[in-house]
């Protein structure tokens, strides 16, 4: 999603460059509307890129190296799930504003006759885009009532265990964890000492 948003944001930036290179045609309410909508499309694209990039960079790190173990995994999954929904709305908003920007650009650059014909073509593709998008969304979307959480329910009693490796290396820093985890490590250390 970030790649497609970056491509569309580049198109929007190119549209702003067109306005900067031709000051004579860009004036009045129509041009102001075009520039505003194009900037909004680029802004939604940048939001999509930032959210997707941060989730892809920080989410796996929290899941694999979080200090709370399984709770960190659950937190990473839930956060990425909620942010993915927000990122999807940003991406759809960018697509919508990009199409509206394309409509307005035709009226700014060309004669009304040419702009009308081109807008008809763009409108046809916009309708096809909306119909296909809704159809695919309805076929693949999983709502919250039918979704599977992915949590290991049978291991819920072990989620608050201490980091065993950390306690083995630094025994004095493991007092804040659960007693079960600490007891397991202490028994392991005592058994190793007795064996020696």
- The mean pLDDT values, 10 residues at a time, for the chain of 196 residues are 83 76 65 88 92 88 79 82 87 92 87 91 92 91 72 60 60 49 43 46
Q: Please state, in angstroms and rounded to a whole number, the distance separating the CA atoms of residues 8 and 15.
A: 11
CA 145, 151, 152 angle in degrees (round to 5)? Answer: 135
Q: Could you tell me if 42 and 111 lie in one domain? A: yes
- Whether 97 and 37 have beta carbons less than 8 Å apart is answered as yes
Predicted local confidence at residue 68, as pLDDT: 75
Predicted local confidence at residue 194, as pLDDT: 44
Predicted local confidence at residue 62, as pLDDT: 84
Q: Could you tell me if 106 and 166 lie in one domain? A: no
Percent composition of the chain: helix, strand, coil (DSSP 3-state, to 5): 80, 0, 20
Q: Please state, in angstroms and rounded to a whole number, the distance separating the CA atoms of residues 185 and 13.
A: 58
Q: Is residue 76 part of a domain?
A: yes
The total domain count for the chain is 2
Q: Could you tell me if 96 and 179 lie in one domain? A: no
Q: Could you tell me if 36 and 79 lie in one domain? A: yes
Q: Is residue 150 part of a domain?
A: no
Largest CA distance in the chain: 93
Give the residue numbers spanning the domain of 178. 160-195
122-140 b/e (C-beta count within 10 Å ≥ 16 → b): beeebeeeeeeeeeeeeee
Predicted local confidence at residue 85, as pLDDT: 86
Q: Could you tell me if 75 and 114 lie in one domain? A: yes
Specify the length of the chain in residues: 196
Q: Could you tell me if 106 and 64 lie in one domain? A: yes
Predicted local confidence at residue 175, as pLDDT: 45
């Amino acid at each position: 999603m970030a790649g497609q948003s970056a491509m569309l944001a580049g198109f929007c930036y190119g549209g702003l460059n067109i306005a900067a290179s031709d000051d004579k045609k860009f004036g009045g309410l129509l041009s102001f509307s075009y520039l505003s909508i194009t900037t909004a499309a680029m802004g939604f694209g940048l939001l999509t890129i930032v959210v997707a990039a941060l989730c892809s960079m920080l989410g796996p790190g929290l899941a694999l190296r979080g200090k709370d173990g399984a709770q960190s995994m659950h937190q990473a999954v839930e956060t990425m799930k909620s942010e993915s929904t927000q990122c999807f709305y940003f991406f759809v908003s960018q697509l919508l504003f990009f199409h509206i920007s394309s409509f307005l650009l035709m009226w700014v650059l060309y004669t009304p006759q040419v702009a009308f014909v081109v807008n008809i073509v763009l409108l046809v593709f916009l309708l096809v885009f909306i119909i296909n998008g809704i159809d695919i969304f309805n076929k693949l979307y999983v709502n919250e009532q039918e979704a599977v959480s992915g949590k290991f329910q049978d291991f819920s009693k072990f989620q608050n265990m201490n980091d065993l490796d950390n306690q083995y290396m630094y025994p004095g820093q493991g007092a804040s964890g659960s007693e079960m985890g600490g007891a397991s490590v202490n028994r392991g250390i005592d058994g190793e000492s007795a064996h020696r």
